Chains A and B, each alone.
Chain A
Amino acid sequence: MTTADAGFSIVLRSGDPEDRRRFAEAAAGRAEVLLVRDFAAGLESAANEVVLFLAAGARPLPGWFEAFEAAFSDPDLAAAAGRTFPSLPPTASDWARVVQGENLGPFGRFDLGHFARRILPAERSFAPAENFAVRRCSALLRGGFGGRLPLLRRLLLAGDAVAYAPDATILRPIPAGFPLEERFAEWWQEHGRLIARSEEQATGFLGRRLQAWRAGRKSRRYRRRMADWPERGPEWTRLVAKCHLHRGRALELKLAPPPGSQS
């Protein structure tokens, strides 16, 4: 079988020949593999009907390509997305480990479990940044990568069929120097969780959040979560600690209690 017959192109946002080798091996010669600077250029230059998009360094697990092949055996399917698991280096911080344990961190919002299914139009926030495949004609019809919204989101809004393909799994190695804390703090806050670093005074972003919390300016969502904890007490640092214990991981806090609180 030739590459053109297979109908798949793998677009890697990477300049590393090792990435090309890895994905050529995963596709077992049934797809062309392109190294590009951005996904838009990859969509333009792909020769085949179905185009898979991945960022540099991704590592496909066995069965990754076959899962996309199986999904696109449905001629009505416009796009499909797999799962992405972050892989941290041994020296990653406690902070990063906690975030990883929390439903895979930022990647977890696009992880819909073990079973394949269609993405519902109401789930239009489903927009993984990599490890997804689109039918080229559908993508071009919806404006490619040029729009204000992510491509998958626009496909869903337009009513196109988008599948969740959990067997198409990649590992996403996170470099040791990646600024996890700053990036993930905001994300975690959005998910109703607060984090404070171990054995340090809260400063900057986290400090401001803690100050706001202490002053009672936390969101209603936070207050609801607080009420879920049966051992909540008047001392706010204790509440922060419970936030971690809720998920079975505790980071000891050495923050000064607010004036007038019971300690």
Chain B
Amino acid sequence: MSPALVFGLGTGRCGTTSLARLLDLQPGWEVFHEYFAYDLPADPEAARPFVDAFLARAARSRHEVVGDVFSAWLYSLDRILDRAPEARFVCLKRDRTGTVRSFDRWSGPRNFWVAHDGRRWQSDPWDHCFPKFAAVDKAEAIGLYWDDYYDRAETFAAEMPDRFRIFPMAALNHEDGQREITSFCGLPADRFRPLLRPRHNQSAGARHLQRP
């Protein structure tokens, strides 16, 4: 029998690393964090081979549940649902101000959210993983990205509440919230394993932001 599929979503800087760890911790579950890394583009057409490859990989797995957590899966959701209509989607949401501040700092000299020629901002392989917005500065572009992301997410959540749900980032911080997330993904309550230290990948002290 093919394993069930779970996809974790969220803008980024909103607990997706911890979400992947929580889901991967559950017995018989195999959930990655950014399985394709920067190879998975936001453009749904360009992402099609990656969707197909991930679903094929999942079908070969002997785990009960297979999944991946990455913001860009949101843009390929239609394709995923075409191929795997029973897939579940967990979307984390952090407040707009906190997300913008964290991403602004985390991205350093990069700006994933505007089209650029590499002169003002540093070109990066992650650039194509995000949609582009017309904005004067980076913080504004991140804000527009946040607005667009959760507009789409709320539409999906309203259309299919049994398969797509938005959870606040704070749900990861306590066992009840973690139980709610894993239960939505189909985990029986008696098999739940809590994630004891949920705050991973914090920007404070991030090595890539340290100047020489």
Contacts and interface: CB of A to CB of B under 8 A. Distances in A.
A252 B21 contact: no
Given A113-B210, A248-B21, A62 B118 contact: yes
Q: Which of B39, B200, B211 has the most CB of A within 10 A?
A: B39
Nearest to B62: A199
B212 A248 contact: no
A80 B52 CA distance: 40
Given A66-B118, A113-B210, A248 B20 contact: yes
Interface string B193-212: 00000001000000111111
Interface stretch (A40-48, A86-94, A211-219): A86-94
Nearest to B116: A62
A161 interface: no
Contact of B123 (A61, A90, A91, A249): A61
Interface range for B: 35 or more
Given A62-B116, A248-B200, A115 B123 contact: no
Interface string A228-246: 0000000000000000000
A115 B17 CA distance: 25
Interface string A66-106: 11000000000000000001011011001001001100000
Interface stretch (B27-35, B73-81, B85-93): B27-35
B37 A63 contact: no
Interface string B11-24: 00000010011001
A169 B116 contact: no
Interface in B99-138: 108-110, 116-119, 122-125, 127
Given A62-B116, A90-B53, A115-B212, 19 more contacts: A62-B118, A63-B117, A63-B118, A64-B123, A67-B118, A85-B38, A85-B125, A88-B39, A90-B39, A90-B50, A94-B57, A113-B208, A113-B212, A114-B108, A167-B122, A169-B124, A248-B24, A249-B32, A252-B30
Interface of A: 61-64, 66-67, 85, 87-88, 90-91, 94, 97, 100-101, 112-115, 117, 166-167, 169, 171, 199, 248-250, 252
The 10 closest A-B pairs by CB, nearest first: A63-B118, A62-B118, A61-B123, A90-B53, A90-B49, A117-B212, A85-B125, A90-B50, A62-B117, A62-B123
